[in-house]
């Protein structure tokens, strides 16, 4: 089943609607969706390495726009939708400490967390909730998210064939590593950050 799902993802990645799907997932991940765009970005770059940087920039732009939606959720709808999203992910107890940290370290929080596997929706919602400057949030998000996806693109462009071989020979291990990557981001926020 995992091999069929992998083959389907690769065929989707090379298909005509791949970029729209990637943009949609990247947008949604920055505001409410639990899965990172890497689940589409990686196979898309492996399928079409000549489009690596174009796809990374698409991810960066979409993620930045999705971050603005997350910001709006935090600023305008925190008591309803924002709090519900934060509670679903189990981070309601971290909100006060996050909000206070924004007073002194908002710039660094947005830049550094935008580069990591930490779920960015949490950063965007908290930025709005904390009343962080929306223009500065937009600029920092555009920089950090685009750099993050460009780094993925560069690595896959440089080491893509060995990565593809590893995935195809050891698909189960690759799937477990992706799961660890996704869950690790949530755990990092919950217990470390």
Specify the pLDDT at position 76: 92
In this prediction the pTM is 0.78
For position 65, what pLDDT does the model report?
97
Q: How many CB atoms lie within 10 A of CB 103?
A: 10
Dihedral (CA of 104, 187, 121, 88) sign: negative
Low-confidence ranges of the chain (pLDDT < 70): 1-10, 12-14, 117, 164, 166-193
Residues in the chain: 193
Number of H helices, E strands in the chain: 9, 0
**Alpha-carbon torsion, ordered 129, 130, 133, 137, to 10 deg:** -70
Element (H, E) at 74: helix 52-76
């Amino acid at each position: 089943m995992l091999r069929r799902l992998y083959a389907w993802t690769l065929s989707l990645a090379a298909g005509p609607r791949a970029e729209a799907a990637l943009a949609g997932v990247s947008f949604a991940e920055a505001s409410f969706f639990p899965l990172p765009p890497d689940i589409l970005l990686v196979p898309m770059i492996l399928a079409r390495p000549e489009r690596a940087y174009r796809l990374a920039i698409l991810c960066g732009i979409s993620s930045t726009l999705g971050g603005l939606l997350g910001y709006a959720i935090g600023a305008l709808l925190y008591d309803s939708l924002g709090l519900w999203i934060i509670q679903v992910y189990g981070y309601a107890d971290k909100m006060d400490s996050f909000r206070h940290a924004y007073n002194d370290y908002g710039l660094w929080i947005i830049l550094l967390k935008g580069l990591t596997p930490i779920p960015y929706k949490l950063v965007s919602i908290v930025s709005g909730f904390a009343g962080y400057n929306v223009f500065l949030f937009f600029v920092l998000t555009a920089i950090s998210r685009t750099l993050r996806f460009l780094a993925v693109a560069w690595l896959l462009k440089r080491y893509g064939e060995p990565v593809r071989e590893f995935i195809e020979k050891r698909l189960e291990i690759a799937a477990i590593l992706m799961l660890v990557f996704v869950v690790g981001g949530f755990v990092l926020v919950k217990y470390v950050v």
